[in-house]
């Protein structure tokens, strides 16, 4: 029998705990806001070293989590997400080092101009404040999220899933060791030391102590956070991404992009879920595209035209157009031109990532202007929807909201900004 991960607490005790953690995080954020980049980076480098040095302890804690998970009947897929190895711990440490090596966003000048009266105005990045992160079974999120928030000068409050609680706690101790080594407040990276479910509800209402909440996990977690939070949220609920093969598409590019967008990795939010093919090129393009997908091991659900290509294509139902499979399944449909493609995506998409394949630049322009998604690609795979692929370095997730952050949420998106105005005694007339 494996010990419970936290002692039972009363609701009053949990509320007091969360309030105290929120206050401590807010106070730490004030210190971080003016901590030099070298200090924040030193904390990150020291944390990475502490993670490497604590490999044995982290593995031991993880073994307890894995054993508890098996005892609770977790699927092997979930156990695999949860399980750490020395190589995975080294990857976690290296990711923290990589974040330390990123350019410092705090104080960076976004824009600068001079007014006719001689006032020089700069818009510079500043930390947002305190970020709440609520996540599920992957223990590496503890290090990734804590490090990314610290890099951007923010304090954070991490709430890990119960399955990975001991592993996350062990990794969190290493992050705190890094903070201490750099002389920064321990509360700069807080970890909720209980798996009680009330803690999540309390975080969602902590609009005095948290500036934004980032949920990392399955659809039910994200949906709950988006519905209940009284704090702004950076998240996407669905990644129902589309590839539209336009009448002006080059077939070779279309074949390469469609198979990559769907099959490179099916479990990521940028994986394509629906293929739209222009009726004008159905005769030449539809069959090779469907057959490529089938040959790659993808289940194809389609309209009548797609079904006519191959007996293995199953009929699509209305629900298929709204489904994020996150699996080797795709829905295929013919459309009558670009307007129908745009209308279909606006009606069924999730404002995440969509690609058009065409040699017609004006069609690409219309598609990219007409669809209200975070990322629009022309002649490239939807699987590029990723902060690293965008050159932003690590990201804490992809956002589909339109306020503040949209698309990959990296260090710059975890910042706010302020205006600095430099004068020589100017007064306003």
Contact positions toward a second copy, by CB under 8 A? 30, 33-34, 107, 113, 115, 119, 121, 126, 128-129, 211-212, 232, 250, 252-253, 256-257, 260-261, 264, 346, 364, 368-370, 372-381, 383-384, 389-391, 402-404, 406-407, 416-428
Which one-letter DSSP state was computed for residue 205? T
Within 10 Å of residue 19's Cβ, how many Cβ atoms? 14
Handedness of CA 290, 284, 348, 378 (dihedral sign): positive
Measured from the CB of residue 218, what is the shortest distance to a second copy in angstroms? 23
Tokens 């159905």 belong to which residue? 282
Please, what is the minimum distance in Å from the beta carbon of residue 99 to a second copy? 20
Strand 120-127, strand 212-216: pairing: unpaired
Query: What angle is formed at CA 232 by the lines to CA 227 and CA 233, rounded to 5 degrees?
Result: 65
Nearer to a second copy, 308 or 380 (CB): 380
Identify the three-state secondary structure at position 296.
coil
Task: Tell me how far, at minimum, the Cβ of 3 lies from a second copy, in Å.
Answer: 41
- For a second copy, the closer of residues 9 and 264 by Cβ is 264
Nearer to a second copy, 55 or 381 (CB): 381
Instruction: Measure the CA–CA gap between 231 and 210, rounded to whole angstroms.
Output: 7
Which structure tokens are listed for 139? 């223990």
Residue with Cβ nearer a second copy (324 or 354): 354
Residue 140 beta carbon to a second copy: minimum distance, rounded to whole angstroms: 21
Least separation in angstroms between residue 228's CB and a second copy is: 11
- Note whether 194 and 6 are within 8 A (CB): yes
- In the complex with a second copy, the residue whose CB is nearer, 178 or 408, is 408
Query: Minimum Å distance from CB 139 to a second copy?
Result: 26
> Residue 2: is it exposed, middle or buried by C-beta count within 10 angstroms (0-12/13-18/19+)?
middle
Tell me which H or E stretch contains 300: strand 299-302
Nearest-approach distance from CB 392 to a second copy, in angstroms: 10
Give Cβ neighbours of residue 83 (< 8 Å, ≥ 6 apart).
62, 66
Q: Where are the extended beta strands (E) located within 212-364?
A: 212-216, 241-245, 272-278, 299-302, 314-315, 329-335, 353-357
Measured from the CB atom, the residue of 193 and 401 that comes closer to a second copy is: 401
With H, G, I as helix, E, B as strand and everything else as coil, classify residue 405.
Answer: coil
Question: Min. distance of Cβ 93 from a second copy in angstroms?
Answer: 25
Give the three-class secondary structure for 134. strand
Q: In the complex with a second copy, which residue's Cβ is closer, 86 or 388?
A: 388
Q: Which is nearer to a second copy, 238 or 320 (CB)?
A: 238
């Amino acid at each position: 029998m494996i010990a419970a991960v936290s002692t039972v607490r009363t609701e009053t005790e949990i509320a007091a705990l969360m309030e105290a953690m929120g206050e401590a995080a807010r106070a730490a954020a004030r210190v971080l806001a003016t901590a030099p980049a070298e200090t924040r980076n030193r904390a990150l480098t020291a944390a990475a070293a502490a993670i490497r040095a604590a490999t044995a302890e982290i593995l031991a804690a993880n073994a307890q989590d894995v054993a508890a998970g098996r005892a609770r009947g977790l699927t092997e897929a979930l156990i695999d997400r949860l399980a750490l190895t020395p190589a995975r711990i080294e990857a976690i440490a290296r990711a923290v080092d990589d974040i330390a090596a990123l350019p410092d966003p705090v104080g960076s000048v976004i824009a600068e101009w001079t007014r006719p009266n001689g006032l020089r105005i700069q818009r510079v990045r500043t930390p947002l404040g305190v970020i709440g992160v609520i996540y599920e079974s992957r223990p590496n999120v503890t290090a990734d999220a804590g490090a990314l928030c610290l890099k951007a000068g923010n304090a954070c409050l991490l709430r890990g899933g119960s399955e990975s609680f001991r592993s996350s706690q062990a990794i969190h101790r290493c992050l705190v060791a890094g903070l201490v080594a750099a002389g920064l407040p321990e509360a700069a990276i807080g970890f909720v030391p209980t798996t009680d479910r009330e803690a999540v509800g309390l975080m969602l209402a902590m609009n005095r102590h948290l500036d934004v909440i980032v949920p990392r996990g399955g659809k039910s977690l994200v949906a709950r956070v988006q519905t209940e939070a009284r704090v702004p949220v950076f998240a996407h609920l669905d990644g129902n991404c589309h590839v539209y093969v336009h009448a002006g598409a080059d077939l070779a590019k279309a074949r390469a992009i469609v198979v990559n967008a769907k099959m490179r990795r099916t479990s990521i939010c940028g994986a394509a879920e629906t293929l739209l093919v222009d009726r004008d090129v159905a005769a030449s393009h539809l069959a090779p595209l469907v057959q490529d997908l089938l040959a790659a091991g993808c289940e194809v659900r389609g309209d009548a035209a797609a079904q006519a290509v191959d007996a293995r294509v199953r009929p699509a139902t209305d629900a298929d157009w709204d489904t994020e499979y996150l699996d080797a399944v795709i829905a295929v449909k013919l459309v009558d031109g670009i307007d129908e493609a745009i209308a279909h995506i606006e009606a069924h998409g999730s404002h995440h990532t969509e690609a058009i394949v065409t040699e017609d630049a004006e069609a690409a322009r219309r598609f990219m202007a007409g669809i209200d998604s975070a990322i629009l690609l022309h002649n490239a795979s939807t699987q590029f929807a990723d902060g690293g692929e965008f050159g932003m370095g690590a990201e804490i997730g992809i956002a589909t909201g339109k306020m503040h952050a949209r698309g990959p949420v990296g260090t710059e998106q975890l910042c706010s900004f302020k205006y600095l105005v430099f004068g020589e005694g100017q007064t306003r007339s």
